[in-house]
Structure 1
């Protein structure tokens, strides 16, 4: 391959990575994204009012309920609601977004607990956001691996950014790959799209140049022969890297890699990164 061709390929690789990076930043800085969260309120059977949301909130066997005072209003699924509104029993890892003026009130279930997380566009963390530090993209960190499905999905319990909270995922298989001459593997979880995969990991950079608790990597569905590409340049921070008001899962013990992956997102400025 000529030097000119190599330079052209690197430019195309970098531009594709920049497209990915901009999407991540846009999602993070959305007016109702994770940086806009002003409170993480845990519900129980006692009605509670919060300074950043309307109504009194509680939960029980029939799910989340809010009781709005006269003059208070939420918009749920496009319809205004007043008085008592029942959100019902939420499935694990699901959420409902109710609109309150220019804010969104997220009602969610995480680790078996119902929570309310108001999201306000003028939240200080969001308005002060200047971007996420990241390593320069390098093709050496895009490696081809092999997806090995388990005979049956394995229920896998992992910790969370919130002490005492646990998440349970059905791991469909693992991804095997080679990096720096070492044979490695990562337990994979289901991704957002059909057949896609989601990896949680730490490595030797964690706590030094990258966020200590976790990073994530989304993978496209494997090919018919199990081939899959792990582009660690797209190793992304989860919301807990920026805010304490997140319940992000931690990697399972076997996903703590013994190599330094100097690619992807670095420690956010919000956590002392530069």
Structure 2
């Protein structure tokens, strides 16, 4: 655990810590509220090899059975590429990558994301007018507290290990690759969590704790760590623990934490269970 500052500099140090966290949290809320972010999801349609139309979506869609999805356009869809958009005519083949952000099709202000999860495919509709976005009132969180900052040590595996974990969608599985274990002391006890590569570098910890399903989302939360130093040391700041997208929307396919990533302590830090305007009576 990090040491506590005492004396005349204690209050200024605590104030700086709280201010830094507030800036980080405001940035997080701004990112959540982007027009086509996770709060914009309005539908999740699973595909099979039967050609189907879906309410409010252009054209017809089907999974091909050989690693792709076919969209047969009816003239009002635009295929969104990395460089520019081009009108879709006839039938086009889309090839999303398992576990990665999907291929996007633009329809007016909406984006239809074609995703692959293992060998299944789905359409995820992103609409800036989704109530989960327009009624978003922020991501509730515990007050920042330095007691939830620990010094940890990363112990890499000799070889990365492919794990199998469940998902918030019944019957779906994810296969994340673990790269090692982070060990740390929290609330006077030794803990360890399996670590995954972070999407933008560093490490990612996906875990349950004693608050899960109570004051925090039951499907677990995640925490990004910076890269370990040369001696494997990492700072584990639970104040920056995040909800996964599935805490905010019913249309995400989030993985569950690995079975062993369950802390017995109640980590009253980071994001709490968010309000869901789509579930309001």
TM-score when scaled to structure 2?
0.91
1:144–1:177 Cα contact (<8 Å) kept: yes
Q: Alignment partner for residue 50 of structure 2, among 46, 49, 53?
A: 46
Deviation, 1:190, is 1.1
Structure-2 separation of matches of 1:202 and 1:213: 7
- CA deviations 1:12-31 (Å, max 9, x no partner) are 11121112211221121111
215-224 vs 55-64, greater mean Cα deviation: 55-64
Report the equivalent of 2:245: 239
- CA deviations 1:140-198 (Å, max 9, x no partner) are 1111100001111111111111011110011110100001111100001111124x111
Residue 90 (structure 1) aligned with residue 94 (structure 2): no
SS in 1 for 2:42: coil
SS in 2 for 1:157: coil
Structure-2 separation of matches of 1:186 and 1:101: 43
Report the equivalent of 2:13: 9
Structure-2 separation of matches of 1:205 and 1:92: 28
1:202–1:215 Cα contact (<8 Å) kept: yes
Q: Alignment partner for residue 148 of structure 2, among 126, 131, 141?
A: 141
Deviation, 1:242, is 1.4
Change (3 A) 1:240 1:92: closer
Change (3 A) 1:2 1:260: closer
| Equivalent runs, 1:1-274 vs 2, <5 Å | 3-60=7-64, 61-69=66-74, 71-77=75-81, 78-82=84-88, 83-88=90-95, 90-194=97-201, 196-270=202-276
Runs of 4+ in 1 over 3 A off after TM superposition: 1-4
2:204–2:223 Cα contact (<8 Å) kept: yes
- CA deviations 1:169-228 (Å, max 9, x no partner) are 11110100001111100001111124x111110111111111111100011111110000
TM-score when scaled to structure 1?
0.94
Deviation, 1:55, is 1.4
Unaligned segments of structure 1, at least 5 residues: none
Count of residue correspondences? 271
- CA deviations 1:103-125 (Å, max 9, x no partner) are 11111112332111111111122
SS in 2 for 1:27: helix
- CA deviations 1:78-109 (Å, max 9, x no partner) are 22222212113534424122221111111111
Deviation, 1:3, is 4.4
153-162 vs 107-116, greater mean Cα deviation: 107-116
Structure-2 separation of matches of 1:253 and 1:89: 28
SS in 2 for 1:10: helix
- CA deviations 1:18-62 (Å, max 9, x no partner) are 122112211211111111111101111111211232111111214
Taking only aligned residues, the RMSD between alpha carbons, in angstroms, comes to 1.8
